Amino acid sequence: MQHFLTYGRQHGYSWALALLLWGLLGQPAAVAQQTDSLSSINRQLSQYRQQALQEKLYLHLDRSLYVSGELLWFKIYALDGATNRPLPLSKIAYVEVLDAQQKPVLQTKVSLRNATGQGSLALPSSVASGNYTVRAYTSWMKNFSPDFYFTSPVTILNTFTTAGLRTSKDSARYDVQFFPEGGNLVKGLSSTVAFKITDSAGRSLEAQGVVLDPQNKVVARFKTLRFGMGRFTLLPQQIGAAYTAVVSLPGKPTLSRRLPAVFEQGYVMQLQETAADQLQLTVQSTAAAGGSGTTIYLLGHARQQVAVSARAVVQDGKAVFIVRKPELAAGITHFTIFNERKQPLCERLYFKRPTEQLRLQVATDKPAYGTREKVGLRLATEAAAGSANLSLAVYRLDSLAGPTAPASLLSYAWLTSDLRGTVENPDYYFTAPDTSRDVRQATDNLMLTHGWTRFRWTEVLTNQPRQFEFLPELNGHLVRGVVTNRLTRAPAKDVAAYLASPSRRIQLYNSVSKADGTIQFETKDLLGLKEIVVQTNAQQDSSHRIEIFDPFSLKYAESRPVPVGLPARLAEAVRQRHVGVQAQNTFFRKNLATYAPVATDSVPFYGAPSEKFRLDDYTRFRVMEEVMREYVPGVQVRLRKGKFYFQVHDDPHGVIFDEDPLVLLDGVPVFNTNKIMQMDPLRIQKLEVVRSRYLQGNLLYHGVVSYTTYKGDLAGFVLDPHALVQEYEGVQQQREFYAPQYETAQDKQSRLPDYRSLLYWNPQLALGGKEALEKQLSFFTSDQVGRYLIMVQGLSATGLAGSSSLVVEVKPAL
């Protein structure tokens, strides 16, 4: 953890929480002096924020609907959860595609650099038609709830079957939820109750209804407003689950749902906008819960940064806090009421739309184009935004696309990442006029129905420092595992373990097991699917067993499986997508499988060797002992009791090491020297020797003797039977986006069909800062006519997020 905090300070991130305390206007809440309890809560929240840095990921997906056989492209933005600025902390992101049962169907690891990354996933024909979830997270994020992971719904159609064309039947499953403001219903205290009504697919529904008391008397009426949400006022007089809501849906059966239970004692909370720049929080309590003279405390924080802290004394069952809206941070503020024992009583969310965002402009040189025509595109931003990192997609808007667009980077950073559940049309809360009464009401209903805190107050208010299982991956992918006793399965402590992948590029990673037997290898440039060899020194102790952990998260947020179904009238649209994908995979397969060159360090992990021998430059012996004795002066060969031993010269000290050196074959440690001596030297291309001590991690090697075969594949060498050999997927190689170019008349006359629905994808755009504020781009249309959406998203170095879109039309060529 200390390494983690040091890294943050070096990169200019202040983990210390600035506690800005304002004296509030109005009733007894405007007390300038803080109590010990409130100061203690502030201090503990500050400490928690220092320890539990909130990291966010956002994925810009090229589209939200795919056909099997297509490529899913994405750009990753890593953000500081407190400031929404780029956070160059983690170097690896984990991306998965989950099915309706939350089982991963695709998984990959993506390298992050300067808080961004990019990648792609090939959707195989084995993937069934359905609604899926793309989720992404880092190793550090695995310490927290999976609700914190980035998620976005996507639809995948397997056009090789007709399953995706069957109209899904109405399952008659409706979700009706009620949310008392502040948390609970309390007998004798009037409360605002928010509600949300959706269908089985999570789509909002229009409805109206009544609330009945135990005597079936109507005590409240309600009606949905925007996005299936609304509210009503209830004064409960009965405790327990005594109240029932009867919901009427147009053309559907009437539903009956119980309201949350009513408590006999407790607190309720109400937030009102009493002026353009002022909020009023009213707290009511029963006599037994908090009678007159009882002190309560208000803490308001946005992303764990305190903006409001005050105390008030309950008089006649009520206390009032006045909060000035200009003092609140942009985004979601959590208002929490505590008693004198630092116990949270009520909580309420309030959203303040950010006034600043990344202003992006996108324009084309023409409003419409023909097929296979060049499109000129202009991107621009404002100088005040500074440097900005952008991504851009251009895709066809067909009838298959879903009705709900995923959250943009702007709405995700400031809104949906801090809310529970699925938010319908999140960009509405940023694009609709915030002066509109309907918008303000819809926004407040959203706060009431999706309330959520990124931590539990019990975690914050404990005096024990939190222990984190997963470290941030600051330099590369961490391969984790455990060493146990082969017979007893008990954890093995202080055991040296080694991980290597046979190759001509010599890379070795080591780890020493902790008290619980866990090991952790910090790998770098472990790319693609590899065969890894993980072992301990079986010559010293053969009782150890190694297991490598699955690096992907095994925790999942709650979700509701939603079947996919398309009406038969869309059969032609599905056929067109199927033909387009198959044509592209048939005629452009080679272009679609092009990967960007990877700049990897070819120097062995031990650097430049002291001695290097290319055995083809010498007379080739057929016995390895002759090679070592005749050609390698830096290594002494010893034979004792039928066993060979190597002793390396210690050049810096002019002596010979008594201890065994590290012996490698294609980067894999070999602890039985006899097996190396039995190997056919004609299979060895080169031999390198390090004639000095070499420190790697926690292990000290007394020289290194490294053999490399011609193909780097161990050349038939049989590994120790105690070694763990398995395939392991490293960081994915970056696929290059391909699109045909029609610069000449001859190009346009090509008979190869071009049915692309994704015309352009560019995840590496930069504007502002050292780059120009304006950029000119170009791409070509395909043979498919229709309307195409140009979507650009980005994040500035100062945390300004933004997006812009434009629709252009492609018409048949004249």
pLDDT in tens, 386-435: 899 999 999 999 877 654 568 899 999 999 999 988 899 999 999 888 77
Of 1-10, 303-312, 340-349, 607-616, give the range with the top mean pLDDT: 607-616
The pLDDT of residue 176 is 94
Q: Where is average pLDDT lowest: 205-209, 400-404, 609-613?
A: 400-404
> What does the pLDDT average to over 93-107?
96
Q: What is the pLDDT of residues 487-510, one digit of tens each?
A: 999 999 999 999 999 999 999 999
Say if residues 248 and 223 touch (Cβ distance below 8 Å). Answer: no
Question: 595 or 15: whose pLDDT is higher?
Answer: 595
pLDDT of 452 strictly over 80: no
**Residue 686, SS3?**
strand
* pLDDT cut 90: percent of the chain above it: 73
Q: Where is average pLDDT lowest: 258-272, 280-294, 364-378?
A: 280-294
User: What band does 290 get if pLDDT is binned at 50, 70 and 90?
Assistant: confident
Tokens matching residue 235: 């004064």
pLDDT of 5 strictly over 50: no
**Length in residues, the chain:** 814
User: Where do the H-state alpha helices sit in 425-466?
Assistant: 428-431, 437-449, 457-460
Q: How far apart are CA 63 and CA 396, in angstroms?
A: 9
User: What band does 341 get if pLDDT is binned at 50, 70 and 90?
Assistant: confident
pLDDT of 667 strictly over 80: yes
User: What is the maximum span of the chain, computed from C-alpha positions, in angstroms?
Assistant: 104
Q: What is the pLDDT of residues 353-389, one digit of tens each?
A: 999 999 999 999 999 999 999 999 999 998 877 899 9
The pLDDT of residue 814 is 64
Of 20-24, 100-104, 479-483, give the range with the top mean pLDDT: 479-483
- Computed over every residue of the chain, the mean pLDDT equals 89
pLDDT of 785 strictly over 60: yes
User: What band does 18 get if pLDDT is binned at 50, 70 and 90?
Assistant: very low
- Residue 446 burial (10 A CB sphere; 0-12, 13-18, 19+): buried
The total domain count for the chain is 1
Q: What is the pLDDT of residues 136-193, one digit of tens each?
A: 999 999 999 999 999 999 999 998 876 555 544 544 578 999 999 999 999 999 999 9
Q: What is the CATH number of the domain that holds 218?
A: 2.60.40.10
Residue with tokens 């049915």: 755
Q: Which amino acid would we find at residue 88?
A: P
The pLDDT of residue 399 is 73
- Which residue range(s) make up the domain with 220? 185-263
The pLDDT of residue 253 is 84
Tokens matching residue 552: 């992907």
> What does the pLDDT average to over 336-358?
92
Tokens matching residue 340: 């004198």
Query: Looking at the domain assignment, is residue 497 inside a domain?
Result: no
Say if residues 232 and 210 touch (Cβ distance below 8 Å). Answer: no
User: Half-sphere exposure of residue 289, counting CA atoms within 13 Å on the CB side?
Assistant: 25
The pLDDT of residue 719 is 95
The pLDDT of residue 400 is 77
Q: What is the pLDDT of residues 581-592, one digit of tens each?
A: 999 999 998 888
Q: What share of the chain is helix, strand, coil (3-state, %, to 5)?
A: 15, 40, 45
Q: What is the pLDDT of residues 242-253, one digit of tens each?
A: 899 999 998 888
Cβ count within 10 A of residue 122: 14
Cβ count within 10 A of residue 629: 14
The pLDDT of residue 163 is 52
Taking alpha carbons only, the member of 80, 79, 78, 104 closest to residue 93 is 78
Tokens matching residue 656: 């010979």
Q: How far apart are CA 395 and CA 70, in angstroms?
A: 13
**Residue 716, SS3?**
helix
Query: Looking at the domain assignment, is residue 113 inside a domain?
Result: no
Write the CB contacts of 661 (distance below 8 Å, at least 6 apart in sequence).
635, 646, 647, 648, 690, 701, 702, 703, 704, 705
Q: How far apart are CA 814 and CA 812, in angstroms?
A: 6
Query: Looking at the domain assignment, is residue 235 inside a domain?
Result: yes
Query: Looking at the domain assignment, is residue 25 inside a domain?
Result: no
Question: 74 or 202: whose pLDDT is higher?
Answer: 74
Taking alpha carbons only, the member of 690, 710, 709, 711 closest to residue 700 is 690
Say if residues 695 and 528 touch (Cβ distance below 8 Å). Answer: no
Query: Looking at the domain assignment, is residue 67 inside a domain?
Result: no
Residue with tokens 């994020």: 141
Query: Looking at the domain assignment, is residue 287 inside a domain?
Result: no
Helical (H) or strand (E) element with 585: helix 571-587
Q: Compute CA 59 distance to the chain's CA centroid, rounded to the nearest angstrom.
A: 8
Residue with tokens 């803080």: 34
The pLDDT of residue 228 is 95
> What does the pLDDT average to over 613-635?
94
Query: Looking at the domain assignment, is residue 237 inside a domain?
Result: yes
Query: Looking at the domain assignment, is residue 207 inside a domain?
Result: yes
Tokens matching residue 57: 């990921």
